[in-house]
Structure 1
C-alpha cells in the first residue's frame, strides 16, 4: 500500500529520467515490474519502443492530418474520409462553412474529438474552449512518453461524420500488425456508449481474450463484406514497422481509413486471461539497438 502511494506521487514528477519514469508508471498501472532488458509482454515491448524506436516516419503517421498523404501514396485517396478543412488556430474555424454533421479532431493526440450530429445544438463557445485546451496538449509529455507524438504540430481537422443506417456508432476494426503482418484484429462496438470489445483472428474466428478495461462482447460480430480488403490494406500501411495498429471503418461495405497507432492503451492495455500478454508479445520482434544504449535496471 505504501509503495503504491509512493508510485502514485512519483509517476507525475517531470524531472525523473524517462527510463525510470516508465518503470514507475508501468508498476503503478499494471502492477508489475517493467523489464526493459528482456521484455516479454506486449506492454513491456510497447514501452521499449517508446524509449528506443525513434524513426521520423512515426511522427507523420501519428499525425491525423499528415498521415493522409502516406495513406494516399500507399493505398489510394479513395480510402480517406472526406476532409473539410485543417486549422492551425481555433479562431480560424468558421462553423458556418461546415455542414450540419461533422467531426473535429486534434491531430496530435488521442481522444481529442468533438462529434457533431446536429450543428444547431452545438455549444460553439464551449467547443472552442475545449479545442483551445487541445492546442496546449502534448501527448508525449502528458500521457506516457509516446515518442511518435513528441514533434507533432498541434492542429485541428474537420472531417465528414461517418454513419450507417441502424447504428448509432459504427464499428471500429483495429488490425494489430507485427513487422508488417496483420495477426489479429480488435473490434470496438458502440464506442463511447457501452464500449464493447472483442478480438478476431484473420479467418474471422473469435479469439478467447479481451482487455481488462472494456466490456467483452459476448455475441458474434457479423463479418463485414470488405473484411478481406481491410486485411490487404492493413498490411500495406503497416509496411514492415515493428508494430503498428491500423484502424478502419466499414460503412455500407466501403472501407475508410481511421488512424495508425503505435502505442495501444499507452502500453498499459492488459489482456485477460493474463497469459495472452506474453502470447501477443511473442509476435513483436524488437529491432536491434546499439550496445551502448542497453538499459541497466535502476528501479
Structure 2
C-alpha cells in the first residue's frame, strides 16, 4: 500500500478523524506530513541513531550530559568478554523500545539476549510506520550502565524553533505508564496524550532550567523535535532526539490540543532561524 494510503488508514483508526497531509493543521497531521516529506533523511538518521547522536550532543552541549557507552558493536562479543558491571541495559541503536534491562544477576540470561539482539539486527523498523530514516541507521548494539537508583521519570521537552513550549513527563514506565504535561514554568497543563496523567505530585525537577537550556540548544534549526533527558542529583543526562513521537498516532485528550500544538509549528518552520540553522545542520 502506498505510504499516503497506509498512513491515512492508521491515522483514522488511531485518531478518529480524517487527516489532511497536504495542508496539515494539527500536531499529529504535521508529524504524518513530515514522514511523507522528510527534509533531510540522512540528518534524521544520524540524530535518531542512539550511538551517532552522542557525538552530536557532545559537540553542542558537552560530554558530561551523556550516558557512557560500555560497549558497542554489530554482534555481541564472546561471553567471556561480556564483563559489563550489573546493572546495565543492552540496546539497539535504531528504533524505539529495542532494549533489554539487566537489573541484577538473576536477570542475566545470555541466551535470551543473544536471541533478542540477533532479531533486532535483521528486522526492518516497523515499515508500516514509514519512518524510513530508522532503516538508514547502520545497525549496532550498545551497552550502557543502568542509571539511577530506581525508576526514573523521563523528561521529554517539546522544542519548536529552538524554544521549549511543553515538558512531557513519563512516569511509572514499567508498571502503570502515566504521562503528564507542564509548561516551562512547571505549570500543570490541562491535556494528556494517550496515557492517563500522573495522580501523584510531580515536583519540579531540580535541573529543569538547565534541561530547557540544553534542549533548546539541541533543538535549534528544527521546526520541531522532542529532546529527552533524565534528571539525576548530579545533573541531567541526555536520552534521545525524536522527530515523530508516537509515530504521530497518539490521541490527545481533549482533542483540541492536537490543533493547539499544531499551531506552534508553522511559525517555527518559516522562521529565519530554522531556515538558517537548518541549512547549517544539513551542510
Give your verdict on TM over 0.5.
yes
Match of 1:154 among 127, 132, 139: 139
Paired residue for 2:130? 145
Q: How many Å separate the matches in 2 of 1:100 and 1:25?
A: 40
Query: Once the 2 structures are TM-superposed, how far is the Cα of residue 197 of structure 1 from its aligned partner?
Result: 1.3
CA RMSD, Structure 1 to Structure 2 (Å): 1.7
Q: Distance in 2 between matches of 1:77 and 1:215?
A: 35
Deviations 1:137-175 (A, max 9, x none): 32251x5011331301121110011013xxx31110000
8 Å CA contact 2:45–2:136 kept in 1: the answer is yes
TM-score (structure 2 length as normaliser): 0.90
The alpha carbon displacement at 1:224 in A equals 1.4
Q: Does structure 1 conserve the Cα–Cα contact (< 8 Å) formed by 2:211 and 2:236?
A: yes
Is 1:65 matched with 2:47? no
Correspondence 1:80 to 2:66: yes
> Which residue of structure 2 aligns with residue 38 of structure 1?
23
State the secondary structure of the residue aligned to 1:215: coil
The TM-score, its normalising length taken from structure 1, stands at 0.85
Q: Which residue of 1 aligns with 2:276?
A: none
1:229 CA drift (Å): 0.3
Count how many residue pairs are aligned between Structure 1 and Structure 2. Answer: 268
What's the CA shift string for 1:158-206, capped at 9, x where partnerless? Answer: 0011013xxx311100000112211111001121111111000001110
- Structure 2 vs 1, CA of residues 207 and 95 (structure 1 numbering), >3 Å: closer, same or farther? farther
| Conserved? CA contact 2:47–2:241, under 8 Å | yes
Q: Is this contact kept in 2: 1:88–1:156, CA < 8 A?
A: yes
Partner of 1:195: 177
Structure 1: gaps spanning 5 or more residues: 1-15, 289-299
State the partner residue of 1:215.
196
Query: Is residue 176–residue 183 contact of structure 1 (8 Å, CA) maintained in 2?
Result: yes
Q: Give the 3-state SS of the residue equivalent to 1:90 in structure 2.
A: coil
